[in-house]
Amino acid sequence: MSSLRVLVGCKRVIDYAVKIRVNASKTAVETAGVKHSMNPFDEIAVEEAVRLKEKMGKKISEIVVVSCGTAKAQETLRTALAMGADRGIHVQVEDDAKLQPLGVAKLLKAIVEKEKIDLVVLGKQAIDDDSNQTGQMLAGLLNWPQATFASKVDIAEDNAITVSREVDGGIETISSKIPAIVTTDLRLNEPRYASLPNIMKAKKKPLVKLTPQELGVDVAPRLETLEVSEPPKRSGGKKVESVDELVDKLKNEAAIL
């Protein structure tokens, strides 16, 4: 029985509770002075890796967490280490906004190969760009099987991995062999809060910094953002007196029926 090395991606994103504003030049959303946190689906990914290690003991030899971004990404990695990951890798880039899913997937591929990773756990999507691409692209680049949108993960002694996925109308259960890529959905687990002692311990866990150049990866953006705009303001609703009036308005004013 060989033990498994797990890699988890942790992106630093604008906190889910912040009201997003578009910047004045309409090129991106405003990030300056805005609260950031670990992408919620990545918290679920870290939690799942830690639970697998707690459940399977020595079968999981190490959980490595990686964040690609500016120096602040290290805060996100420290949170993941406080949740129970063993080691962090920060891939430093100058501008988060210029890093796109293909670039991240190439960086992750280089780390998978360098670190001899067996299982990659990513979030199903980053809540800032909503791309939902990185896991799938990484699976393509590595030619590994992928189980996306996982709501349950089981690994057997013989490295068979079984994943339940929430699909329209029910749950699909698929099985594959490790090495593999899993992306997490909301209902997979409820991530733990890092306790104060664990936050203190996490400060001493190893964290290395690498650059895309050191990994031999070109992260130049392939897509150009033309414009970012706010959704149209909602106009106020109207009260109707009867179902007939409602149907009339839907037909003649809203032209929905």
Contacts of 176 (CB under 8 A, 6+ apart): 145, 147, 160, 161, 163
112 binds ligand AMP (CB under 6 A): no
Q: Which runs of consecutive H residues, i.e. helices, occur in the chain? A: 40-56, 73-83, 101-115, 134-142, 196-202, 243-252
123 binds ligand AMP (CB under 6 A): yes
Residue 177 CB, nearest approach to ligand AMP (Å)? 22
CB-wise, 60 or 139, nearer to ligand AMP?
Answer: 139
106 binds ligand AMP (CB under 6 A): no
10 binds ligand AMP (CB under 6 A): yes
150 binds ligand AMP (CB under 6 A): no
Coil, helix or strand at residue 38: strand
Residue 212 CB, nearest approach to ligand AMP (Å)? 11
- Per-residue x/- mask for ligand AMP, residues 62 to 81, rule CB under 6 A? ----xxxx------------
CB-wise, 99 or 202, nearer to ligand AMP?
Answer: 99
For the stretch 230-238, contacts whose Cβ atoms lie closer than 8 Å and that sit 24 or more positions apart, written own/partner, are 230/21, 230/22
Cβ 35 vs Cβ 42: under 8 Å: no
Residue 217 CB, nearest approach to ligand AMP (Å)? 13
Q: How crowded is residue 176: how many other Cβ atoms within 10 Å of its Cβ?
A: 17
